[in-house]
Amino acid sequence: MGDQLRFDGQTVVVTGAGGGLGKAYATFFGSRGANVVVNDLGGSFKGEGKSSKAADVVVDEIKATGGKAVANYDSVTDGDKIIQTAIQAFGRIDVLINNAGILRDISFKNMKDGDWDLIMDVHVRGAYKCARAAWPHFRKQKYGRVISTASAAGLFGSFGQCNYSAAKLSQVGFTESLAKEGFKYNILCNTIAPIAASRMTQTVMPPDVLENLKPDWVVPLVAVLAHSSNTSETGGIFEVGGGHVAKLRWERAKGALLRADSSLTPSAILAKWDGVNDFSEPSYPTGPANFMELLEDAQKLPSNPA
């Protein structure tokens, strides 16, 4: 049944679809009946230059196999133009895959404002602009699916990628908030942290490892999350690639509860440091409400020992 997932009549916008993961998504959706907007600025992986060729090649490929696709060459920072392409060509938008991305890897010591700003612009502002333009359509039709792209670099940190890591983790907070705002309008929003062979990874991983990391192995999860048969999975973070798919979540240690008064000193915290680090009885917070319960408990405690 899952093999039959189709998207007939739906419009899927894939940003950065001229190569790598985006191309794999676009060709898949095109082969499953969707109208596809193939967006790509066509620059280098460092964000230099632009060209219409990357998007055109993918559009031609989809059309050659009987699919429906149009190209869009705008930067994701002009997300409204990309969504406008979908509306003009197909009259609607159902799925937004925020995938476009670039790298400006450099040690933090040597990082310039330009390295930081460009990464923030493409990943953070780009995802915002595309989702912001799609949102009124999703709300009006009470249907929408958003897939955002984080990265292990954002979730765990990565040497030489402070800018990229910050931008990629932002996708988690952004998308979880969209999930909360969108749920009652049937707008489901999830984040993936993929790993796949692409021009982004070809210089940092050996060829035999890359061989097992085809972008095609990321596509099925994206299809599941983007499909109308997904009616409840939202606000999730999924690690995916090379045949591995797993959900990630926040884990809170047992923690230390302290009375919040003048006895809450550094030494009071140090006295309870084991608890701060104790993951033997974890909890799995999903929002600030869990935290508020803890605060109420803290206020019932006597003052902390000196």
The structure tokens 């701060």 sit at: 276
Q: Cα separation of 247 and 270, whole Å?
A: 33
Q: Is 225 in the site for ligand NAD (CB under 6 A)?
A: no
Q: Is 20 in the site for ligand NAD (CB under 6 A)?
A: yes
Per the CB < 8 A criterion, the answer to whether 5 and 224 are in contact is yes
Site for ligand NAD in 177-196 (CB under 6 A): 194-196
Identified binder of ligand NAD from the candidate list 7, 13, 14, 18, rule CB under 6 A:
18
Of the candidate spans 18-26, 85-93, 178-186, 259-267, the one that interacts with ligand NAD by CB under 6 A turns out to be: 18-26
Q: Cα separation of 190 and 174, whole Å?
A: 10
Mutual orientation of helices 219-226 and 20-31 as an angle, nearest 10°?
50
Site for ligand NAD in 117-146 (CB under 6 A): 122, 126
Min. distance of Cβ 33 from ligand NAD in angstroms?
Answer: 23
Per the CB < 8 A criterion, the answer to whether 119 and 164 are in contact is yes
Identified binder of ligand NAD from the candidate list 102, 130, 146, 223, rule CB under 6 A:
102
Nearer to ligand NAD, 40 or 258 (CB): 40
Which secondary structure element, helix H or strand E, spans residue 147, and what is its range?
strand 144-149
Nearer to ligand NAD, 70 or 76 (CB): 76
Identified binder of ligand NAD from the candidate list 99, 163, 191, 304, rule CB under 6 A:
99
Q: Is 42 in the site for ligand NAD (CB under 6 A)?
A: yes
Q: Is 26 in the site for ligand NAD (CB under 6 A)?
A: no
Identified binder of ligand NAD from the candidate list 201, 221, 234, 235, rule CB under 6 A:
201
Q: Cα separation of 298 and 292, whole Å?
A: 10
Per the CB < 8 A criterion, the answer to whether 192 and 218 are in contact is yes
Task: Return the amino acid letter for 1.
Answer: M
Instruction: Report the SS3 class of residue 120.
Output: helix
Nearer to ligand NAD, 40 or 176 (CB): 40
Q: Cα separation of 169 and 282, whole Å?
A: 22
- Nearest CA to 279 among 258, 298, 250, 251? 251
Min. distance of Cβ 147 from ligand NAD in angstroms?
Answer: 11
Min. distance of Cβ 15 from ligand NAD in angstroms?
Answer: 6
Of the candidate spans 39-47, 83-91, 108-116, 172-180, the one that interacts with ligand NAD by CB under 6 A turns out to be: 39-47
Site for ligand NAD in 233-292 (CB under 6 A): none
Q: Cα separation of 280 and 257, whole Å?
A: 16
Work out the burial of residue 287: count CB atoms within 10 Å of its CB; fewer than 13 is exposed, 13-18 middle, 19 or more buried.
Answer: exposed
Name the E strands within the chain.
Answer: 11-14, 35-39, 68-72, 95-98, 144-149, 187-194, 237-241, 244-248
Return the structure tokens found at 179.
Answer: 């999930």
Identified binder of ligand NAD from the candidate list 10, 27, 39, 234, rule CB under 6 A:
39
Asked about 185 being catalytic, the answer comes back as no
Of the candidate spans 16-24, 128-136, 176-184, 249-257, the one that interacts with ligand NAD by CB under 6 A turns out to be: 16-24
128, 164, 185, 284: the active-site residue: 164
Residues that bind ligand NAD (CB under 6 A): 15-16, 18-22, 39-43, 45, 47, 54, 75-76, 99-102, 122, 126, 149, 151, 194-196, 198-201
